[in-house]
């Protein structure tokens, strides 16, 4: 499974966009990019996933570069409740497994 | 609401005393997973069931076992807990595993005395 690299921590002001980068330079053609987050003392929560195209849902947007070697998760208007560890995961389409990396700890401040 | 339920939320056991953690789901999903998350670390997959088929991760210690008596329930058995097994244990489900999101329970925090 391809590995991901994320910055260990980031800060974001409340109301501003939070842009969380992820590098996955060894990604293969059939591997999806998934994002989960984990708020303190809770189970991880699915955010979004994509293969090639940019994706948007009610929680976030996922921008994947054309060469698919990196991606950015965008929280358009961060709130204090978005403070969490965000995990970028590369997942092979035919497997059932998520292999979590170290994640980015996002702190949203007032 | 459909959900993944883990009981208990907090479990204390003694060194070497067997312990069982439980997970139930109302989502009717085919796949159930168990993860171990130690303090300040990412979740690590221990094993998963695709329906009744058990899939163990290569580096999961033999001390950890699992049972899935029916679609709704899955158990994690730790036969002889050591101090290093203290962690949060997370249960998750997915509809059929492939391109579906996983739904996580709140976890059970295990303390080993």
Q: Is some CB atom of chain B closer than 8 A to the CB atom of A93?
A: yes
Q: Is some CB atom of chain A closer than 8 A to the CB atom of B5?
A: no
Q: What is the pLDDT of residues B17-52, one digit of tens each?
A: 999 999 999 999 999 999 999 998 999 999 999 999
Q: Is some CB atom of chain B closer than 8 A to the CB atom of A44?
A: yes
pLDDT confidence of A44, banded at 50, 70, 90?
very high
Q: Please give the average per-residue pLDDT across A12-16, as a whole number.
A: 97
The residue in chain A having the minimum alpha-carbon distance to the alpha carbon of residue B109 is: A41
Q: If you average pLDDT over every residue of chain A, what do you get?
A: 92
Residue B1 confidence (pLDDT): 66
Residue A88 confidence (pLDDT): 95
Q: Which residues contact A74 (CB under 8 A, 6 or more apart)?
A: A17, A18, A19, A20, A60, A61, A62, A63
Residue A93 confidence (pLDDT): 66
């Amino acid at each position: 499974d391809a590995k991901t690299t994320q910055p260990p921590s980031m800060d974001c002001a409340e109301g501003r966009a939070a842009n969380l980068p992820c590098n996955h330079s060894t990604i293969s053609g059939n591997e999806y990019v998934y994002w989960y987050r984990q708020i303190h003392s809770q189970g991880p929560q699915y955010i979004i996933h994509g293969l090639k195209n940019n994706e948007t849902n009610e929680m976030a947007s996922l921008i994947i570069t054309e060469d698919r070697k990196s991606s950015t998760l965008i929280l358009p208007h961060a709130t204090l409740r978005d403070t969490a560890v965000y995990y970028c995961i590369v997942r092979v389409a035919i497997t059932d497994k998520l292999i979590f990396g170290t994640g980015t700890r996002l702190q949203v401040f007032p | 609401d459909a959900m993944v339920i883990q009981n208990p939320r907090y479990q204390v056991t003694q060194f070497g005393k067997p312990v069982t953690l439980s997970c139930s789901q109302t989502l009717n999903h085919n796949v159930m997973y168990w993860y171990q998350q130690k303090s300040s670390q990412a979740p690590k997959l221990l094993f998963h069931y695709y329906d009744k088929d058990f899939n163990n991760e290569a580096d999961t210690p033999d001390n950890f076992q699992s049972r899935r008596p029916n679609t709704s329930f899955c158990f994690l058995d730790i036969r002889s807990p050591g101090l290093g097994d203290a962690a949060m244990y997370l249960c998750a489900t997915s509809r059929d595993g492939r391109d579906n999101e996983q739904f996580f329970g709140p976890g059970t925090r295990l303390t080993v005395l």
